[in-house]
């Protein structure tokens, strides 16, 4: 899995029938140090994540192993909303702090 | 399976049902000289006992979920073992030391 930041939503009316009812989000992969990569991807949302949140996403066939995405054509699925990231004993991301700064 | 070192943790309370009770750790993949080899990623800890600094081995892709109690889980990397020692005398570059 990788960390990512949700940066937007995707709306599509014409799509594969198997994608009906699935929420699609634009995410930007994030390194554990908190820096964002310069590529973006569309991921199915299995947890109800929102823009600005840091999430964990699974790739490949594992992305289909949720109730929301079972038997659906998704190769990236958001599986968790991240509260805290700690690297080398230091907290590099904390959801409560990030929300306080943004509000 | 790949060789790596646990460098951190990710805590999440809001996750898909198959992941209840699953611990997530940040793993840095290592080469045969125990030097960083590629970008770190997040792995589920199926040993339940791995911690920061430990050497572990990781199974990737869909097979990773098979190491968990509930194998219908959206997990694409899992720690399946904590390494006590590596013995590879034919590896001339020192990883066996």
ipTM of the complex: 0.90
Residue range B31-55, pLDDT digits in tens: 888 899 999 999 999 999 999 999 9
Inter-chain contact B11–A81, Cβ cutoff 8 Å?
no
Q: Which residue has the tokens 């990788």?
A: A2
Q: List the CATH number of the domain containing B26.
A: 2.40.50.220
The beta-carbon neighbor of A86 closest among B9, B39, B61 is B9
CATH class of A2-102: mainly beta
Q: Which residues pair with B44 in a beta bridge?
A: B24, B78
Inter-chain contact A66–B74, Cβ cutoff 8 Å?
yes
Chain A's closest residue to B41, CA to CA, is A2
Residue B48 inside a domain? The answer is: yes
Contact B3, B30 (CB under 8 A): yes
Residue range A15-50, pLDDT digits in tens: 999 999 999 999 999 999 999 999 999 999 999 999
Q: How far from chain centre, in Å, is Cα B67?
A: 11
Inter-chain contact A77–B74, Cβ cutoff 8 Å?
yes
Quote the number of domains for chain B: 1
């Amino acid at each position: 899995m990788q960390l990512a930041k949700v940066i937007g939503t995707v709306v599509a009316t014409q799509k594969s029938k198997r994608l009906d009812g699935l929420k699609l989000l634009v995410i930007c992969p994030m390194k554990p140090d908190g820096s964002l990569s310069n590529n973006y991807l569309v991921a199915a949302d299995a947890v109800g994540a929102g823009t600005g949140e840091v999430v964990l996403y699974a790739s490949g066939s594992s992305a289909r192993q949720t109730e929301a995405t079972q038997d659906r054509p998704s190769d990236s699925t958001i599986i968790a909303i991240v509260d805290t990231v700690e690297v080398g004993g230091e907290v590099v991301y904390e959801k409560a702090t990030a929300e306080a700064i943004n509000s | 399976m790949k060789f790596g070192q646990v460098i951190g943790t990710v805590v999440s309370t809001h996750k898909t049902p198959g992941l209840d009770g699953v611990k997530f750790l940040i793993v840095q993949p290592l080469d045969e000289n125990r030097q960083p080899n590629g970008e770190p990623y997040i792995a589920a800890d199926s040993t339940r006992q791995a911690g920061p600094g430990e050497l572990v081995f990781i199974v990737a892709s869909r097979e990773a979920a098979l190491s968990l109690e509930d194998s219908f889980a959206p997990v694409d990397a899992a720690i399946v073992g904590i390494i006590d020692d590596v013995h590879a005398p034919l590896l001339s570059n020192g990883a066996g030391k």
